[in-house]
């Protein structure tokens, strides 16, 4: 059993309590994780508050902060294979995906390292005589970052990198499900040379860790990724400190396929969108809305390809789909499939564990064909490898079905008709629209949704500005004394 430590105020510490982390491929404990209590969280936040005001951090120029982020990016790139192995073991995400994704995470730190000294104020030609006015942008303060277990190095990078570039300090709570890679990432933070307290990384459970962190009076900004139910608790917690909020939540993302689409390319995109990462992605393309004329041919191709997906141990480079991360995910998916079939959905393929992978949390790629939009599988998020399919008749019907959800994170449109693609991107109610592609990300592009998919955006320049606030500065330029306000003239 490996043992991991918290990283608080520049020191690695054993916790007063621990818990075992389970390998999803074997259902066996493999590591002992530190469990943060209220006192641990309080120390981390107070250290972040001290660091925010200390000259070792606040006295750095923006360019110097950027150089620290570049150094951290180089360390991530060098250690990506090791971090990938930890993430694969702790979450079940396949090694071919964790290696590629973590190597790309370094680009987020480089992007924001380059933006650190690009934040600008603004001069205002004010309507008052003998007065100059301008706006300064200043870092907002201590940031509480909370991330789930899936793609955690990426989801932490889109919070940590812009926050540090802006001059904030960060306390990061890794998920209690699979925290190993982020606790190991703390070694790179330490090696990069950030002053003590600028970044602290811990893990623990909701009430004695997450609640304490997000309601702490010294926290000025909360950046959360997770599900809507937990987000509601975070919003209530933020009433204690009135912190600014970014919420990146779930999705029930539609993929709309028109008759003129390139079916070979479309099938590959759909398979990637729903079965990559075993469907455990907030942007998973879990609703396929296909034109009735091509639905039979498209469904046949998808069924054949889904049944060829190689399910295997996540550390094998030949594996195309590994286990789910937790047992509760398997239980939730099976229950939702059962309810959907009872409501009229037809099981095209999958629908159960594969039965030949021992005790791991494996589940077969699954496709459900639905007759109406009220079927549970079209309404509720699986967070697993399940594609729900329904037909549409015309463009207006496609838009109506795609928008018939309380979520609005992402969507895909497949058509060769550029005018139609432009109409669809305007009509679809989602924060991300991919046309003739799916599941692409870049540090240069904002990421976020509508409705129950969250508040705010991560990525791009605007994300870094969200870690700042403006200060209005008024300067009187006249040497003439200000007149007595109580003398009438």
Which positions are annotated as active-site residues?
Answer: 248
- Name the H helices within 323-389: 327-342, 376-379
Dist. CA 66–CA 212, nearest whole Å: 30
The alpha carbon of residue 191 and the mean position of all alpha carbons in its chain are separated, in whole angstroms, by 25
Q: What is the DSSP letter of 481?
A: P
Residue 134 makes CB contacts below 8 A (sequence gap 6+) with 121, 122, 123, 124, 473
The 8-class DSSP code of residue 282 comes to T
Q: Are strands 468-476 and 131-139 parallel, antiparallel or unpaired?
A: antiparallel
* Number of DSSP helices (H) and strands (E) in the chain, helices first: 15, 21
User: Which residue is associated with the tokens 């003998």?
Assistant: 130
What is the Cα–Cα distance from 90 to 32, expressed in whole angstroms? 11
The residues with which 288 forms a beta bridge, in sequence order, are 255, 389
Q: Counting beta carbons within 10 angstroms of the beta carbon of residue 386, is it exposed (0 to 12), middle (13 to 18) or buried (19 or more)? A: buried
Cα–Cα distance, 32 to 3 (Å, whole number): 5
Return d(Cα 414, Cα 273) in angstroms, integer: 13
Asked whether the beta carbons of 111 and 161 are under 8 A apart, the reply is yes
Closest CA to 386 of 440, 362, 350, 435: 350
CA pair distance 136, 121, nearest whole angstrom? 5
Strand (E) or helix (H) holding 111: helix 95-115
Beta bridge partners of 11: 8
What count of other Cβ atoms lies within 10 Å of the Cβ of residue 434?
21
What is the H or E stretch that residue 286 is in? Answer: none
Contact 3, 31 (CB under 8 A): yes
Angle between helices 395-402 and 418-427 (to 10 degrees): 30
List of residues 6+ apart from 67 with CB closer than 8 A: 113
Beta bridge partners of 475: 132
CA–CA dist 288, 458 (Å, integer):
26
Q: Two tokens at 163? A: 């926050």
């Amino acid at each position: 059993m490996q043992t991991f430590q918290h990283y608080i105020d520049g020191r690695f510490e054993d916790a007063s309590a621990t818990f075992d982390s389970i390998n999803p491929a074997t259902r066996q404990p493999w590591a002992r994780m530190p469990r943060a209590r209220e006192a641990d969280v309080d120390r981390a936040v107070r250290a972040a508050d001290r660091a925010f005001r200390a000259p070792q951090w606040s006295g750095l120029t923006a360019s110097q902060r950027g150089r620290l982020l570049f150094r951290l990016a180089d360390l991530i790139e060098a250690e990506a294979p090791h971090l990938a192995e930890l993430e694969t073991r702790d979450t079940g995400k396949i090694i071919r995906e964790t290696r590629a994704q973590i190597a790309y995470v370094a680009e987020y730190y480089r992007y924001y390292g380059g933006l650190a000294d690009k934040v600008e104020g603004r001069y205002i030609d004010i309507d008052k005589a003998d007065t100059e006015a301008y706006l300064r942008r200043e870092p907002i303060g201590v940031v509480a970052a909370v991330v789930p277990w899936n793609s955690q190095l990426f989801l932490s990078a889109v919070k940590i990198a812009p926050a540090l570039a802006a001059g904030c300090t960060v306390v990061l709570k890794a998920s209690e499900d699979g925290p190993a890679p982020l606790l190991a990432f703390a070694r790179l933070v330490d090696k990069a040379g950030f002053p003590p307290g600028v970044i602290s990384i811990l893990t623990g459970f909701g009430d004695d860790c997450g609640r304490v962190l997000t309601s702490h009076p010294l926290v000025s900004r909360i950046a959360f990724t997770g599900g809507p139910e937990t987000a509601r608790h975070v919003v209530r917690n933020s009433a204690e400190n009135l912190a600014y909020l970014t919420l990146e939540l779930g999705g029930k993302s539609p993929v709309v396929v028109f008759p003129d689409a390139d079916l070979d390319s479309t099938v590959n995109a759909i398979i990637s969108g729903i079965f990559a990462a075993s469907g455990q992605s907030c942007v998973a393309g879990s609703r396929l809305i296909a034109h009735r004329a091509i639905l039979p041919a498209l469904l046949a191709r998808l069924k054949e390809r889904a049944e060829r997906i190689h399910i295997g141990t996540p550390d094998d480079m030949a594996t195309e789909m590994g286990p789910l991360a937790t047992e509760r995910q398997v239980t939730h998916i099976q229950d939702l499939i059962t309810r959907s079939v009872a409501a009229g959905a037809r099981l095209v393929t999958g629908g159960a564990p594969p039965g030949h992978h021992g005790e791991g949390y494996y589940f077969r790629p699954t496709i459900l064909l639905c007759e109406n939009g009220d079927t549970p599988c079209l309404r509720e998020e699986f967070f697993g490898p399940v594609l729900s399919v329904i037909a549409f008749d015309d463009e207006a019907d496609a838009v109506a079905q795609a928008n018939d959800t309380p979520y609005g994170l992402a969507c895909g449109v497949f058509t060769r008709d550029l005018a139609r693609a432009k109409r669809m991107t305007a009509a679809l109610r989602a924060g991300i629209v991919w046309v003739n592609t799916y599941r692409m990300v870049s540090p240069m592009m904002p990421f976020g949704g509508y409705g129950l998919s969250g508040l705010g955006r991560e990525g791009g320049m605007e994300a870094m500005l969200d870690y700042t606030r403006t200060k209005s500065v008024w300067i009187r330029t006249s040497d003439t004394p200000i007149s007595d306000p109580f003398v009438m003239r």
